[in-house]
Amino acid sequence: MFSEDEYRLDFFVDEGFQRKKCEKCGKFFWTRDGQRKTCGDPPCDPYTFIGSPIFKREHTLDEMREHYLSFFQARGHSRIKRYPVVARWRDDIYLTIASIADFQPFVTSGQVPPPANPLTISQPCIRLDDLDSVGRSGRHLTTFEMMAHHVFNTREREIYWKDRTVRLCDELLAGLGMDPLAVTYKENPWAGGGNAGPSVEVMVGGLELATLVFMDLKAVAGGPIQIKGECYEKMNNYIVDTGYGLERFVWASTGSPTIYDAIFPHLVGKVADLAGVEHDLADPEYAEIFAQNARLAGMVDLDEYSMKDLRAMIAKSIGTSPEKLERTIEPMERVYAVVDHTRCLAYMLGDGIIPSNVKSGYLARLVIRRALRLMKELGLDLPIADLVEMQISRLDYPDWEERFVTVREILTQEEQKYAETLEKGKRLVKKSAEHFKKLEQAVPLAEMIALYDTHGIPPEIAKASAEEMGATVELPDNFYSLVAKKRIKAEAEEEAKAVVPGKTELLYYENPFDQVFEATVLDVTAEGWAVLDRTLLYPEGGGQPADHGTLERAGQEFAVVDVQKSGDAVLHKLDRAGLQKGDRVAGKVDMRRRLAHARHHTATHLVHDSAKRILGRHVWQAGAQKSEDRARLDISHYRRITEAELKAIELEANRRVMELTAVDTQFLPREEAEKLFGFELYQGGVPPGKQIRVVRVGSDIEACAGTHVTNTGMIGAIKILRSERIQDGVERIEFAAGEAAVRAVQERDDLLAQASGVLRVPAEQLPRTAERFFEEWKGQAKEIERLKEELAKARLRSLAAEAEEADGLKIVVQRMGKADIDELLKAAALLAEQDCTVLLGSETGKLVAAVGKSGLEKGLKAGAIIKAAAKALGGGGGGRPELAQGGGPDVAKLEEALAAGREAMRA
RNA sequence: GGGCUUGUAGAUCAGUGGUAGAUCGCCGCCUUCGCAAGGCGGAGGCCACGGGUUCGAAUCCCGUCAAGUCCA
């Protein structure tokens, strides 16, 4: 816990604030109001702003955002453009969940300077944690804008800290016309993601408008400061992290019953109209229902309260029945949620998320399906793309409008996909329901979980259609948590590799085509890795494998078989021991390998850029790997790449090769590079460091640390080999560049030549000939089948004639030359039809037994006969009582086998 | 990144190691003025692909490819 000193700011003292302890929750807060006894935070205080706005006039989202940003701009903050809602620069989160997320991890850790300092931003954020409450609580949103001002201080240079932060906040609120007595600043220590610090929540009218965090601690084992069981110490860089809820500010300015009516009244009205739901907030009685709902939902933790309890509570407080309340409120809850979800989708798809079954794409699909379900419940019969388009046209992002063609296509496809899933689901449910109905059991929970978990059928839908079919269903309230429980939580913690000390000068950037260099051995590790003070050898990284080469010391040559980076040091794995610390060595790069990598690497950039041109701007690199003779590039795309598209990409990439474009590489300060080129720089992930290397190949500009050729002409040729879908929404393109491309084409030619050699036709006629052969082969197989049947019939007469009578049975035991199992089966089956008891054997070691009607009546079993016979051949067999087959490897003992089988027929 | 599931006739699916099936659709004939329905007959299968186990694999095991779905 933080002491009072942490919060006793000059501002509070100057302004006559008092520190009080909330008489309900016991937490400390600061107020100007001498009468105030509670902290201002629900449930200690209820919402009071509904119907009586906090601010003196209504603001729209755009007005409020502009007000905020210009307020801070006028007070020395630089205005920063928003970041995408998909956090491509992070590998720990998929979506941007807070404004500070824009600056993690490198700015907050101090490795990279901030784009401006101090700065102000309004960052769209997406949080799906409270998805179920959206629309119901009156305040929950999946998408919100976090307005913020951030300051990145260091011990050497402090810009401002707590006092000015709170002062600015108070001034902002006063400027909007808030009653100064209404605000409380509630002390609330903050901790998360390995950092912590004091923080205050800004409460007005029961609504938390902002949180001001003073992040100045980091988690360190054995650190001197303890918070919630963790040990922390002070950081050298300490950060003002504020978060002002744009939507809540707007809500506070309107005092409408729900946040939804405050922030997108037009769309709420429009969707309600389309769904035929009457929504007239001018009717005070009607408005009061939603107001009361929001007030009470604001007081409770929705995780702990069931919807039913809450409804009952609200119904009681406004003097109506829960059923009546539900009828009024439920359709609107869906309208609110649909409007919220489609806004969320506008951001997700606008910023380039491709719906998928993994990662951020899954989250997009989750929201799409939820929205579709809600729309269906509302009876809204229009494409979801229409609603998303409405959202996009209300947002001020011009580049999204041009992207809308793609977004519409994606949404249409998702709509179809979901319809198919539900259709398939219906059949599965039907089958399952019939099964359990027959057993006179309820459809068990395990089955419901399987339907949902494995086939994506929501339990509510499954239950409804199962009950339609007259089956009963077991469906507990905590269904989803039971599904979650089924999973095993196994989070493997990544082992932090020890960083090898030392700093190696990287020569390969300056002089990418130098082959030899001189260096001093700084150290040799126990595992035989040499650390050099400078090197031309490229360490593995960015999907490019390590260079190979040699290190020579006084005529002694050591082969370098691997190169890795560790911290600032480059490690060279040698094929044998002997090199010593302090040795001078002459290094040499295997240029063949280097060049092959460089060709594939530059080619990767070209293929990527071509894919973007052919498929659309939604294409992002999702991974890449190069080698000497192949490269592969994974890109985000919402459907399978067609053959035609693949060819177009290949042609486009080769045109760029032929244009002989120079490859331009330069180191730029990160913030400058980002300003110039935007986030599309980070196709291969975000590198750390103040300076980043920017590689430019014509229109393709990427942050990239790999080695490249200096001109696209050096690539020679690019041959795309294949594409595969590695995930829903991610396509992999495999290709070869340079010599490898030529060799790849030659290999294909060889295959073609071999195939046409086998069929003895020219390559052009291969497809036709292959098809003809295949058809003929099929026809012949059928013909053979037919002939065998005929043959069996023809033999029937002679075999039946040779039947011996014994024990009142007609018995046929015969060897049948080299007949195969099909022939034996057919003949035996036919004989059995004529009431024979049959055992047929072939010289290939196959046996078939069949028992006719009389035999069956006597209890003879074909399986038993075959077992006895096959045993003699050293094998086994089995089958049904009327027909069985078997065999064994000792072909020579066929006679004995037949005799043994004959014996078995006696029993 | 992890979990679960599925690839069998044009479609939907049965088929738990022993001669590959049903329903719908398709074709022909019968019935009918014609259509629908009905009756009889028929065509249509590398049981996703490649290995393995076995006397024998659609079925069991391994791998590959394709697809669905839930989660972090």
From residues 340-359 of A, list those within 7 angstroms of strand B by Cβ.
357-359
Q: Is A487 a residue whose pLDDT tops 60?
A: no
Establish whether the CB of A878 is closer than 7 Å to any nucleic acid atom in strand B.
Answer: yes
Q: What band does A93 get if pLDDT is binned at 50, 70 and 90? A: confident
Q: Is A758 a residue whose pLDDT tops 50?
A: yes
Q: Is A12 a residue whose pLDDT tops 60?
A: yes
CA A833 – C1' B17 distance (Å)?
Answer: 25
CA A449 – C1' B5 distance (Å)?
Answer: 13
Query: For residue A710, what pLDDT is reported?
Result: 92
Q: What band does A251 get if pLDDT is binned at 50, 70 and 90? A: very high
Establish whether the CB of A845 is closer than 7 Å to any nucleic acid atom in strand B.
Answer: yes
Establish whether the CB of A565 is closer than 7 Å to any nucleic acid atom in strand B.
Answer: no
Q: Is A245 a residue whose pLDDT tops 90?
A: yes
Query: For residue A714, what pLDDT is reported?
Result: 95
State which residue has its Cα closest to the C1' atom of B45.
A778
Establish whether the CB of A638 is closer than 7 Å to any nucleic acid atom in strand B.
Answer: no
Q: What band does A493 get if pLDDT is binned at 50, 70 and 90? A: very low
Q: What band does A495 get if pLDDT is binned at 50, 70 and 90? A: very low
Q: What band does A35 get if pLDDT is binned at 50, 70 and 90? A: very high
Q: Is A325 a residue whose pLDDT tops 60?
A: yes
ipTM over 0.95: no
Establish whether the CB of A362 is closer than 7 Å to any nucleic acid atom in strand B.
Answer: yes
CA A470 – C1' B5 distance (Å)?
Answer: 26
* Mean pLDDT value across residues A335-345: 96
Sign of CA dihedral A389, A394, A396, A398: positive
Three state DSSP letters for A862-904: HHHHHHHHHHHCCCEEEECCCEEEEECCCHHHHHHHHHHHHHH
The answer to whether residues A617 and A403 touch, using CB atoms and an 8 Å cutoff, is yes
CA A525 – C1' B67 distance (Å)?
Answer: 49
pLDDT tens column, A517-563: 999 999 998 888 999 999 999 998 878 889 999 999 988 999 999 99
A521/A508 Cα distance (integer angstroms): 18
Establish whether the CB of A431 is closer than 7 Å to any nucleic acid atom in strand B.
Answer: yes
* Mean pLDDT value across residues A209-230: 87
Q: Is A486 a residue whose pLDDT tops 70?
A: no
Query: For residue A567, what pLDDT is reported?
Result: 81
Establish whether the CB of A834 is closer than 7 Å to any nucleic acid atom in strand B.
Answer: no
* Mean pLDDT value across residues A183-197: 89
A692/A707 Cα distance (integer angstroms): 14
A838/A849 Cα distance (integer angstroms): 5
Q: Is A433 a residue whose pLDDT tops 90?
A: no
Establish whether the CB of A829 is closer than 7 Å to any nucleic acid atom in strand B.
Answer: yes
Query: For residue A711, what pLDDT is reported?
Result: 95
Establish whether the CB of A369 is closer than 7 Å to any nucleic acid atom in strand B.
Answer: yes
CA A818 – C1' B50 distance (Å)?
Answer: 30
Closest nucleotide to A888's CA, by C1' atom? B55
Q: Which long-range contacts (CB under 8 A, 24 or more apart) does A219-225 make?
A: A219/A194, A219/A195
Cis peptide before A198 (omega within 30 of 0): no
Establish whether the CB of A851 is closer than 7 Å to any nucleic acid atom in strand B.
Answer: no
Q: What band does A408 get if pLDDT is binned at 50, 70 and 90? A: very high
Closest nucleotide to A876's CA, by C1' atom? B55
Bridge partners of residue A814, in order along the sequence: A840
A148/A99 Cα distance (integer angstroms): 7
CA A879 – C1' B16 distance (Å)?
Answer: 14
From residues 480-509 of A, list those within 7 angstroms of strand B by Cβ.
480, 483-484, 487, 490
CA A786 – C1' B9 distance (Å)?
Answer: 19
How many other β-carbons are positioned within 10 Å of the β-carbon of residue A374?
23
Q: Is A304 a residue whose pLDDT tops 80?
A: no
Across A448-480, b (16+ Cβ under 10 Å) vs e yields bbbbbeeeebbbebbbebbeeeebebeeeeebe
Closest nucleotide to A862's CA, by C1' atom? B18
From residues 446-485 of A, list those within 7 angstroms of strand B by Cβ.
450, 452-456, 480, 483-484
State which residue has its Cα closest to the C1' atom of B12.
A427
- Would you report the helix, strand and coil content of chain A in percent, each value rounded to 5? 45, 25, 35
Establish whether the CB of A901 is closer than 7 Å to any nucleic acid atom in strand B.
Answer: no
* Mean pLDDT value across residues A25-37: 94
Q: Which of A406-415, A483-492, A561-570 has the lowest mean pLDDT?
A: A483-492
* Mean pLDDT value across residues A432-445: 81
pLDDT tens column, A267-283: 999 999 999 999 999 99
Number of H helices, E strands in chain A: 25, 33
* Mean pLDDT value across residues A827-840: 87
Establish whether the CB of A771 is closer than 7 Å to any nucleic acid atom in strand B.
Answer: no
pLDDT tens column, A370-399: 999 999 999 998 999 999 999 998 888 877
* Mean pLDDT value across residues A717-737: 90
The answer to whether residues A50 and A295 touch, using CB atoms and an 8 Å cutoff, is yes
Q: Which nucleotides of chain B does any protein CB come within 7 A of?
A: 1-5, 12-14, 17-19, 44-46, 54-56, 65-72
* Mean pLDDT value across residues A861-888: 89
The answer to whether residues A208 and A32 touch, using CB atoms and an 8 Å cutoff, is no
Closest nucleotide to A732's CA, by C1' atom? B65
A199/A186 Cα distance (integer angstroms): 8
Closest nucleotide to A360's CA, by C1' atom? B72
Query: For residue A341, what pLDDT is reported?
Result: 96
* Mean pLDDT value across residues A71-97: 91
- Listing DSSP states for A472-499 in one string gives -B---TTHHHHHHHHS----PPPPPPPP
Q: Is A492 a residue whose pLDDT tops 50?
A: no
The closest of A657, A649, A648, A641 to A729, measured between CA atoms, is: A641
Establish whether the CB of A724 is closer than 7 Å to any nucleic acid atom in strand B.
Answer: yes
Q: What band does A490 get if pLDDT is binned at 50, 70 and 90? A: very low
Query: For residue A622, what pLDDT is reported?
Result: 86
The answer to whether residues A566 and A558 touch, using CB atoms and an 8 Å cutoff, is no
Selection from A395-404, A528-537, A794-803 with the highest mean pLDDT: A528-537
How many other β-carbons are positioned within 10 Å of the β-carbon of residue A536?
24
Greater pLDDT, A258 or A675: A258
Q: Is A754 a residue whose pLDDT tops 60?
A: yes
Selection from A204-208, A401-405, A458-462, A562-566 with the highest mean pLDDT: A204-208
Query: For residue A374, what pLDDT is reported?
Result: 93
* Mean pLDDT value across residues A423-450: 83
The answer to whether residues A201 and A29 touch, using CB atoms and an 8 Å cutoff, is no
Q: Which of A118-122, A363-367, A879-883 has the lowest mean pLDDT?
A: A879-883
Establish whether the CB of A313 is closer than 7 Å to any nucleic acid atom in strand B.
Answer: no
Pairing of strands A516-524, A529-532: antiparallel
Q: What band does A494 get if pLDDT is binned at 50, 70 and 90? A: very low
Establish whether the CB of A729 is closer than 7 Å to any nucleic acid atom in strand B.
Answer: no
Establish whether the CB of A722 is closer than 7 Å to any nucleic acid atom in strand B.
Answer: no
Helix, strand, or coil (residue A95)? strand
Q: Is A165 a residue whose pLDDT tops 80?
A: yes
CA A133 – C1' B50 distance (Å)?
Answer: 51
Closest nucleotide to A450's CA, by C1' atom? B4
Average pLDDT value over all residues in chain A: 88
Q: Is A497 a residue whose pLDDT tops 60?
A: no
Selection from A72-76, A627-631, A835-839, A841-845 with the highest mean pLDDT: A72-76
CA A775 – C1' B24 distance (Å)?
Answer: 27
Query: For residue A345, what pLDDT is reported?
Result: 96
